[in-house]
Structure 1
Amino acid sequence: MHFQRFAPCSPLRPYVHYFWTLESAGLGSPTRPFRTIADGCPGLIFQPPTSAPILDPTGKRWPTLLLHGQTTQPGDMQPQGPFRLVGACLHPSAVPTLFQLPAPELTDTCVDLALLPATGPALAQLLQDTPTPTQQVPRLAALLLAALRSAREPADPGMVYAAEQIRAAPHQVSLAQVRADCCLSERSFQRRFKHAVGITPQLFARICRFQASLHQLRAADYARLSEVAYAHAYADQSHHIRAFQEFAGVSPRQYRLQARPELGGFPALL
């Protein structure tokens, strides 16, 4: 598979981490299943009509244009042939502003964005009328900008701050201090964070810590696997293994054997 990522324009940077394209190797290559893993970010995925369908773990076909929320558990996806995907990795709290949906409604699920009247039909049609991924990425960016201009719910600056603080140092951050920085009670902090991000700050911090350890594994920046566990403040290697199995479906050792180098920059796929 071939993965590429593209930086968003300045107005979208508070809402989009990056745009990306993912293509299978070609017509003559076998199509291996791939696994979605928890990465702390919602996302938008467009599958052109000419691409082979991709089936979720229940055997259901992905819609042409899907919006997914937070993923808290791994899931295996099966391409039915050569495929091409174009997407956007969104900031953790971007869904309520860009799509006028409470983030918890999308946790561990997705919606067919083409069915949402606010943004979907025009976006789906424009993407289908654009032939190549390099043309589809700017189209996707332009339509997200249009969604941003018409947004009825502004971003919650406190929850944007909280998510950024947790992502920056998930094994060191004090959630109590982040809450105090936001001048919120425990109950209000939990409620507002879940509305914006889709999961509790505690679960979000656990996913971000897992992702930080995954990044170190991908970079091969260690001599022993136990070093990765201790570098990210896991109590011991067994604790790290349990977290890895929860969010990736494999142990760190199994990950080393199964990881695909071509997906090294894609934190949501194995």
Structure 2
Amino acid sequence: MRSSAIIYPSFSLTPYIKYYWILKTDEIDPIKIQTIPSGCIHLVFHRGNNLSFDSKGSQPKNFIRGQLSTAGTLISQGDIDMIAIVFQPLGMIPFFTSSMNELYNRYIDVEDLEDAGLNNLKNFISEEVQTSVCIQQIESFLLKRLSAIDYNYKRIFSSIQLIVNEPEIDVESLAQNACLGYRHFKRVFTDLVGVSPKEYYRIIRFQRALYTLQNNPHIELTQLAYTCGYYDHSHLVKDFKAFSNCSPTQYLSTRIPYSTFFSKDCKLNLIKKR
């Protein structure tokens, strides 16, 4: 049996957390799940078995996953009981002091962090049976840590809104909107978001393409490219290969298009058995 649920945060945490994702499965047959760049950082607690990387060992038991730039494959072999905190693009900043760029393409084991409070939270979650109580404890932990945001945070927040709402925008325009010099803007953006503004724009554009396919699966790929801000069809194919390891046609033949960034719920990006 497999179950998945979304729990939305309290009002005070909504600016920082998209949702809590609960995943449980006791299925014996291996399930392959594709990970793709989503534009968000995750904090994950495994209460059952860990998910495994395809031929590369297992995820840490509890970890922070930074911004990803490439696709990967996870394998579930049953007894999964996972709680994931999916942060908004800048959502971790008010709770943790590390540069988000230090998390880039990494899964950081909670036990390796010198953070007594986070380790105490991890221990509580591993011992508590009720998921609802775990969520309450997570919220209490985060609310106690919530710190003031500075003006750079507000500037980069505005930049992310432009990236999300405008399919075509360049880094120079983003820097001007933030009232920062080009190089300074790139440095601040990368430090707060965890990836460069150019790459983040590419990730969100890719997520927009998935969301468009999700809602209009019969759209012509050339039209999809222009709708989502790509130069042409070959530009779309290039990004699909970079972020999902396959072309749009191959992607559609092996999985159902789904955007983890733009969708209001959360589903597994399952790889279809051939």
What's the RMSD between the two structures over aligned residues?
2.6
Report the TM-score, using the length of structure 2 for normalisation: 0.86
| Cα distance in 2 for residues equivalent to 1:238 and 1:163 | 26
Query: Can you give the 5+ residue segments of structure 1 that lack an aligned partner in the other structure?
Result: none
Which of 91, 96, 99 lines up with 2:96 in the alignment?
A: 99
Deviation at 1:160, TM superposition (A): 1.9
Alignment match, 2:156? 159
| Cα distance in 1 for residues equivalent to 2:267 and 2:30 | 20
| Cα distance in 1 for residues equivalent to 2:149 and 2:158 | 20
Deviation at 1:228, TM superposition (A): 1.5
- Structure 1 counterpart SS, 2:39: coil
Q: State the Cα deviation string for residues 149-184 of structure 1 (Å, max 9, x = none).
A: 5x8989721112212221222x22343232122211
| Cα distance in 1 for residues equivalent to 2:138 and 2:222 | 42
How do 1:166-245 residues align onto structure 2 when only pairs under 5 Å count?
166-169=163-166, 171-245=167-241
Percent of aligned positions that are identical: 23
Alignment match, 2:4? 3
Alignment match, 1:140? 138
Could you tell me whether the CA contact under 8 Å between 1:8 and 1:17 is conserved in 2?
Answer: yes
Could you tell me whether the CA contact under 8 Å between 1:105 and 1:198 is conserved in 2?
Answer: yes
AA in 2 matched with 1:14: P
Alignment match, 1:251? 247
Q: How many residues align?
A: 264
Q: Is 235-244 or 192-201 further displaced after alignment? A: 235-244
- Structure 2 counterpart SS, 1:209: helix
| Cα distance in 1 for residues equivalent to 2:96 and 2:4 | 26
Alignment match, 1:77? 74
Could you tell me whether the CA contact under 8 Å between 1:97 and 1:154 is conserved in 2?
Answer: no
| Cα distance in 1 for residues equivalent to 2:88 and 2:144 | 17
Could you tell me whether the CA contact under 8 Å between 1:42 and 1:68 is conserved in 2?
Answer: yes
Q: 1:93 to 1:85 in 2, by over 3 A?
A: same
The reply to whether residue 31 of structure 1 matches residue 30 of structure 2 is yes
The reply to whether residue 111 of structure 1 matches residue 112 of structure 2 is no
Q: 1:156 to 1:8 in 2, by over 3 A?
A: same
Alignment match, 1:19? 20
Deviation at 1:60, TM superposition (A): 2.6
Q: 1:108 to 1:58 in 2, by over 3 A?
A: farther
Deviation at 1:96, TM superposition (A): 3.7
Q: 1:153 to 1:77 in 2, by over 3 A?
A: farther
- Structure 2 counterpart SS, 1:97: coil
Could you tell me whether the CA contact under 8 Å between 2:237 and 2:247 is conserved in 1?
Answer: yes
Could you tell me whether the CA contact under 8 Å between 1:43 and 1:89 is conserved in 2?
Answer: yes
Report the TM-score, using the length of structure 1 for normalisation: 0.87
Q: Is 115-124 or 12-21 further displaced after alignment? A: 115-124
Could you tell me whether the CA contact under 8 Å between 1:31 and 1:79 is conserved in 2?
Answer: yes
Deviation at 1:5, TM superposition (A): 1.8
Query: Runs (4+) of structure 1 moved beyond 6 Å?
Result: 151-155, 261-264
- Structure 1 counterpart SS, 2:246: coil
Could you tell me whether the CA contact under 8 Å between 1:19 and 1:89 is conserved in 2?
Answer: yes
- Structure 2 counterpart SS, 1:76: strand
